[in-house]
Amino acid sequence: MSTRREPEHVALLQGTLNLLILRTLVFGPQHGQGIARAIQQKSEDVLLVDHGSLYPALQRLESQGWIKARWGISENNRKARYYELSAKGRAQLNHQTSDWQRLTGAIGRILGLEQG
Amino acid sequence: MFWRRSQKDFDDEIRAHLELEAQQLLREGAAPADAYYGARRAFGNVTRRQEWFYEQRRILMVRDFISDMAHGFRQLRLNRSYAALAIVTLALGIGANTALFSVVYAILIKPLPYREPERLARVWMDNRRLQMKEDWASWLNYQDYKKLGTSFESMTAFSNSGANLTTDGEPESILGVRAEAALFDQLGVRPHIGRFFTSEEDVAGKGDVWVIGWGLWQRRFGGSTDVLGKKIEMDGSKATIIGVMPPGFRFPTKETEFWSPLVVPDGAKRRVGYWLQMVGRLKPGATMQNAQTEMEVVGKQLELQYPKENAGYGIYVNPLVNHVVGNTRTPLLLLLGAVGFVLLIACVNVAGLMLSRAEARGREVAVRAALGAGRARLAILMFGEAVALALIAGGVGLMAAWWGVKALVMLAPADLPRLDEIGINLPVFLFGLAVTVLTALLFGMVPAWRIARINLNEALREGGRSVAGSIGGQRTRAILVVAECSLAIMLLAGAGLFLRSLFRLQGVDPGFRTNSVLTMQVVASRTKVAQPPQVLEFHQRLMEKIRGLPGVTGMGSITTLLLSDTPNSGTFTLEDRPPFPEAEQIEATSDIASAEFFKTMQVRLKYGRFFDDRDRMDGPRAAIINATFASKYWPGQDPTGKRFVFGMPRERNPWITIVGVIEDMRRRGLHREARLEVFAPLTQRPARGTQLLIAVNGNPMALAAAVRSEIRALDSLATVTKVSTVEAEVGTTMAARRFQALLLALFAMLALVLAAVGIFGLMYQSVSRRTHEIGVRMALGAQGSDVMGMMLRQGLLLTATGCTIGLAGAFALSRLVRGLLYGVGPADPVTYVAAVLLLAAGAVIACWVPARRATRVDPLVALRHE
């Protein structure tokens, strides 16, 4: 089911979903469906996110205190659970982002894709 | 936190997500019919997410453990005989442990009723001349201890005292202390009513004030507050009661019933004359070790400074708690350890029972696992049942403990410290609860561990059999049998050592008659029996009267038959050798005995004669010494006619002639050798107080009332106490040993029965699990005897392994109790062999019955056996 794969899609690297969620929430509170859509659009539909797999990740982030949740009303008047970045989450995002950049930079250099 | 989030909240969120996604898809131009399915497609498996959330909560919720426990209770209700066996086993263990802990708590753990009791210490003169570590001190030495002992914030002295109460009812002799007024403040106690005496009242003439104990107040004054200011008469002297102590106050001993000012006459302010006991409070931060080290130095200094008086006298600091607890610590901890072993065996038994149940449920467990229950979850399920069992057993056990405590208090020797404080209280209850939980963890662990290792594929494919008969199960079972045997052997050997000690001790010849002798302590009053000739007359007339009573065959008297820890004693000089240098001086005890004492008590004469009419008041001073004394200075010789004195020979301290030597009497308890003893004739040293020994035909106690009324007729103010028999008095010196041996034997029997039941159960399971295998063997030609031999061999091999481990353990542990044994070594082979034989007998029976069952297996049935 979750292994459904279409040619133009790339499966997520393990652990990167957290980073993507935190990054999406930088622009303000968002509900689960909004986050899923945002990740899909930003990645220009390259990354495949099974919407359902978002929820365990959201629970984990919430229990770690990186994001906070409360029920609110969506733009089209639907009750939805909104997630918001906490101060701790923001710090975590900065930390993980720089980690990620160093990692990809290093891998890129090894693969010879990035010059100098 | 997220685990507080309800399932509904999570479901709502997912529903919202799906609707938002469907609306978005509509906006993006999807057909209304497709939008909803599109949203679900993008989401993936909705039910799986919901289940995931459910499971997440489940592990974390205590509520689920409770539901497991409820499941456990249901299981127990369905298997009543299994549950009953397990509960009785555990309840015995928990009950016995809790009951014994109540004793340990009251005696060893509960703080003494003083302010910061850990800083209080008894300070003693360490009398190396008499090998008495706890001897009394002289006034001037005490003053030096106080001045030089800088580890102490304060030090106060007191001295033993006694009084014959002659007002308000029957004359009664009671014990008390005379103490410095600072004592109460030092201990940090308050009177129940009234006040303490002050340091101004420490002066002669003003010191006739008493603070009385709770027991005396209740017994003699009915607990009335009128008692304050009341004048009491004690055989000629008077005192005023000024205060009453609260119930728990028993300083320095539980026999102490009054406290009055320590009045020190100038004549007593000397370097010699040892009569003071001391208690000190350490400065904050000082340790007992510091204090002991420092006082040793002080002692040395005083020895050098006053060699004549102090040579051989050091100082010994002992925490007050040790004085109260006495020598009960090791035996109590030993008993607690023993009862802990019983509980362990009970746990092993129940673990075995649960193991078989877990294996019988192998298929159920496998199905649960296949349906998604995690291994941890399954293990917790087993623990649920274990906790359910333990809780019921704990409840039953606590009730059993309530009775057990009553039985223990009844059986306990009367001199057990703080006996009246023993009971089920909060700390004891909490201990019982902790033991219960610990028990559940212990015996729940085995089946839980086994469950977590079940091979699911096999369990499901072949049904219950392969799980049940698996190698792992057999090995676990074997370990349990070995554990039970080794624990039981340790208890049996321990109990054996103590029982053998007790029997050895009972076989010891005390050196005097013990059967059919009535005894009582009599003190003639100062008022009616004033001068020495009158005292002598009192004794002579009393003897005539009592000898005239029917059934009496003889009567003698002695200061005290059994020696206390601080007997009347002194150093001495022998006429036929130069005075001993100070460091070599030793002391001999001194008692006053009537001429008839030795004959009545059937004491054996070694040399010379007993006292007789020749030993008159105006004649030369005579003495009888014991064999230990004689053989120390005149080995192999008859010393009659030799002369000695207590102290140094002076004009007013005439030589005493030895007229006889008696064989040793064990007057300090049967387990202790006699030391140097001297007896003076009553006719030359008339004493107002003495212990009567009345030999009778028949029951001694039946004569007690008649003797008492004869005493009253001679002196209406005389006090009569400690009415008993010699047999009982000697018995009390063994009471502690008897108590220990009895309890240990009880625990060992319990252990033996539990272990036998456990081995039986485990072997029985083993046979029934191997029915199929046995069937195959018999089908292939094995005879019944072969099968039986195989099963027996297996069982006995495990028993033997357990015995070996147990013997090694017993040997190691018995070294710790060496000091509690009498006449047997810690490695006593007889005891060890007996323990092994006893356990082996139990094990053979426990293995034989299941093995018989194995031989009756019909191969045809067995092969079809699932």
What pLDDT score was predicted for residue B468? 44
Helices H, strands E: what count in chain A? 4, 3
Q: Given this model, what pLDDT does residue B456 score?
A: 63
* Residue bearing tokens 């609860």: B433
Q: B813 vs A11, A82, B345, B763, B840, CA distance in Å?
A: 65, 67, 18, 29, 21
Would you call B625 exposed, middle or buried from its count of C-beta atoms within 10 A (0-12, 13-18, 19+)?
Answer: buried
pLDDT of the residue at B380: 76
CB spacing of B44 vs A78 below 8 angstroms: no
Cα-flanking dihedrals φ and ψ of residue B612, to 5°?
A: -150, -160
Residue B839 and residue B804 in contact, taking contact as beta carbons nearer than 8 Å: no
Reading phi first (left if > 0) and then psi (alpha if -120 to 50, else beta), residue B152 is in: beta
Give ∠ CA A10-A11-A17 in degrees, rounded to 5: 120
Contact of B26 with chain A, judged by CB distance below 8 Å, is answered with no
Give the range among B296-305, B576-585, B596-605 with minimum mean pLDDT: B576-585
- Partners of residue B194 on adjacent β-strands: B243
Helix (H, G, I), strand (E, B) or coil at B545: helix
Which chain B residues touch A78 with a CB distance below 8 Å?
A: 16, 19-20, 23
Q: What is the pLDDT of residue B543?
A: 93
- pLDDT tops 90 at residue B31: no
For the stretch B406-430, pLDDT in tens is 999 988 888 888 888 888 888 998 9
3 state SS for B239-262 = EEEEEECCCCCCCCCCCEEEEEEC
Looking at residue B558, its pLDDT comes to 96
How many CB contacts within 8 angstroms connect chain A with chain B? Answer: 68
CB neighbour list of residue B526: distance below 8 Å, 6 or more residues apart: B235, B236, B688
Contact A85, A66 (CB under 8 A): yes
Cα(B828)–Cα(B818) distance, integer angstroms? 11
DSSP per-residue codes, B152-176: EEEEEEEEEEEEEE-SSSS-EEEEE
- Answer whether B45 sits within 8 Å of A1, measured CB to CB: yes
B667: phi then psi, degrees, rounded to nearest 5: -95, 0
CB B298 within 8 A of CB B144: yes
The whole-angstrom distance between residue B240's C-alpha and the CA centroid of its chain comes to: 40
Which whole number is the average pLDDT over B102-109? Answer: 92
Residues 6+ apart with CB under 8 A from B848: B792
In this structure, the dihedral spanned by the alpha carbons of residues B616, B621, B624 and B625, taken in order and rounded to 10 degrees, is: 170
Mean pLDDT of B291-302: 94
Predicted pLDDT of residue B467: 44
Helix, coil or strand: residue B237: strand
Tens digits of residue pLDDT in A51-92 = 888 888 888 888 888 999 989 888 878 888 999 999 999 998
**What pLDDT score was predicted for residue B177?**
94
- Taking the C-alpha atoms of residue B534 and residue B577, their distance in angstroms, rounded to an integer, is 38
- Residue A10: inside a domain: no
In order, the DSSP letters of B702-757 are GGHHHHHHHHHHH-TT-EEEEEEEHHHHHHHTTHHHHHHHHHHHHHHHHHHHHHHH
Whether residue A8 is contained in a domain is answered as no
Residue A41 sits in a domain of what CATH number?
A: 1.10.10.10
How far, rounded to the nearest angstrom, does the alpha carbon of residue B746 sit from its chain's CA centroid?
A: 15
Residue B252: asked if its preceding bond is cis (omega within 30°), the reply is yes
- Interchain contact, A33 vs B21, CB within 8 Å: yes
Nearest partner of B539 among B563, B518, B527, B555, judged by Cα:
B555
User: How far apart are the CA of B44 and the nearest CA of chain A, in angstroms?
Assistant: 6
With cut-offs at 50, 70 and 90, classify the pLDDT of residue B238: confident
pLDDT surpasses 80 at B367: no
The answer to whether residues B791 and B763 touch, using CB atoms and an 8 Å cutoff, is: yes
C-alpha to C-alpha distance for B589 and B131, rounded to whole angstroms? 13
Average pLDDT over every residue of B629-634: 95
Q: Can you tell me which residue has the tokens 């009498």?
A: B822
Q: What is the pLDDT of residue A3?
A: 44
**pLDDT above 80 (res B264):** yes
**According to the model, what pLDDT value does residue A5 have?**
42
B232: helix, strand or coil: strand
User: What is the rounded distance in angstroms from the CA atom of residue B91 to the CA atom of residue B80?
Assistant: 16
Per-residue pLDDT reduced to its tens digit, B467-478: 444 566 778 888
The pLDDT assigned to B41 comes to 84
Q: Which of B375-379, B512-516, B769-773, B825-829 has the highest mean pLDDT?
A: B512-516
- Mean pLDDT, all residues of chain B: 87
Q: In which domain, by residue range, is A100 found?
A: 16-107
The gap between the terminal CA atoms of chain B, to the nearest Å, is 50
Q: What interhelical angle do B784-814 and B771-779 show, nearest 10?
A: 130
How far is the C-alpha of B745 from the C-alpha of B499, rounded, in Å?
8
Give the span between the Cα atoms of B170 and B717, in whole angstroms: 8
How far the first Cα of chain A sits from its last, in Å, is 42
Of residues B250 and B861, more confidence is placed in B250
Chain A residue with minimum CA distance to B21: A33
Contacts of B672 (CB under 8 A, 6+ apart): B666
**pLDDT of residue B465 exceeding 60:** no
Whether the per-residue pLDDT at B159 is higher than 70: the answer is: yes
Residues of A in contact with B20 (CB under 8 A): 31, 33-34, 74, 76, 78, 80
pLDDT of B454 strictly over 90: no
CB contact under 8 A, A37 and B24: yes
pLDDT in tens, B674-689: 989 999 999 999 998 9
pLDDT of B378 higher than 70: yes
Asked if residue B24 has pLDDT above 60, the reply is yes
A21 touches chain B (CB under 8 A): no
B52 close to A (CB below 8 A): yes
For B719-747, b where at least 16 C-beta lie within 10 A, e where not — what string? Answer: bbbebbbbeebbbebbbbbbbbbebbbbb
- pLDDT of B451 higher than 80: no
Residue B23 is encoded by which pair of tokens? Answer: 């609306």
Using a pLDDT cut of 70, give the percent of chain B over it: 94
Please list, in sequence order, all residues whose beta carbon lies within 8 angstroms of the beta carbon of residue A109, skipping any fewer than 6 positions away: none
Residue A80 lies in a domain: yes
Q: Which chain B residues touch A9 with a CB distance below 8 Å?
A: none
pLDDT surpasses 90 at B180: yes
Q: How confident is the model at residue B865 (pLDDT cuts 50, 70, 90)?
A: low
What pLDDT, in 10s, does the model give residues B308-356? 889 889 999 999 998 888 888 888 999 999 999 999 999 888 888 888 7
Model pLDDT, residue B279: 96
Cβ–Cβ < 8 Å for B646, B590: yes
Q: What is the reported pLDDT for B776?
A: 83
Q: Please name the member of B2, B16, B49 whose beta carbon is closest to the beta carbon of A52.
A: B49
Question: Cβ–Cβ of A32/B44 closer than 8 Å?
Answer: no
- Domain for residue A6, yes or no? no
Contact state of A80 with B56 under an 8 Å Cβ cutoff: no
| Cα–Cα dist B39/B363, whole Å | 41
Residue A54 lies in a domain: yes
Instruction: Tell me the β-bridge partners of A71.
Output: A81
- Residue B728 identity (one-letter amino acid): A
Residue type, B799: T
What share of chain B has pLDDT > 90, as a percent?
Answer: 46
DSSP result, B69-87: HHHHHHHHHH-HHHHHHHH
CA distance B454 to B15: 40
Cβ-based neighbour number of residue B135 at 10 Å = 22
DSSP state, B275? -
3-state helix, strand, coil in chain B (%, to 5): 55, 15, 25
Residue B575 sits at the chain A interface (C-beta within 8 Å)? no
* Cβ separation A63–B2 shorter than 8 A: yes
B615 pLDDT more than 90: yes
Work out the burial of residue B616: count CB atoms within 10 Å of its CB; fewer than 13 is exposed, 13-18 middle, 19 or more buried. Answer: exposed
Q: pLDDT-based confidence at A99, cuts 50/70/90?
A: confident
B687-705: pLDDT as tens digits: 989 999 999 998 999 999 9
pLDDT at A116: 43
Give mean pLDDT, residues B268-289. Answer: 92
Over residues B770-799, the mean pLDDT reads 83
Q: Coil, strand, or helix at residue B588?
A: strand
B757 vs B865: which has the higher pLDDT: B757
Contacts of B766-770 with C-beta under 8 Å, sequence gap 24+, read B766/B474, B766/B477, B766/B791, B766/B794, B766/B850, B767/B791, B767/B850, B767/B851, B767/B853, B767/B854, B768/B853, B769/B359, B769/B468, B769/B469, B769/B473, B769/B474, B770/B469, B770/B854
Q: DSSP of B180-203, one letter per residue?
A: -THHHHHHT---SEE----GGGGS
Number of domains present in the structure of chain A: 1
Contact B350, B483 (CB under 8 A): no
Most A CBs within 10 Å, among B2, B26, B28, to test the A interface: B2
Interface touch A33/B49, C-beta < 8 Å: no
Residue A116 domain-assigned (yes or no)? no
Residue A91 falls within a domain, yes or no? yes
pLDDT in tens, B711-763: 999 998 888 988 999 999 998 888 888 998 999 999 999 999 988 888 888 78
The 10s digit of each residue's pLDDT in B107-128 is: 999 999 999 999 999 999 998 8
User: What is residue B568's predicted lDDT score, i.e. its pLDDT?
Assistant: 85
Q: Is residue A48 part of a domain?
A: yes
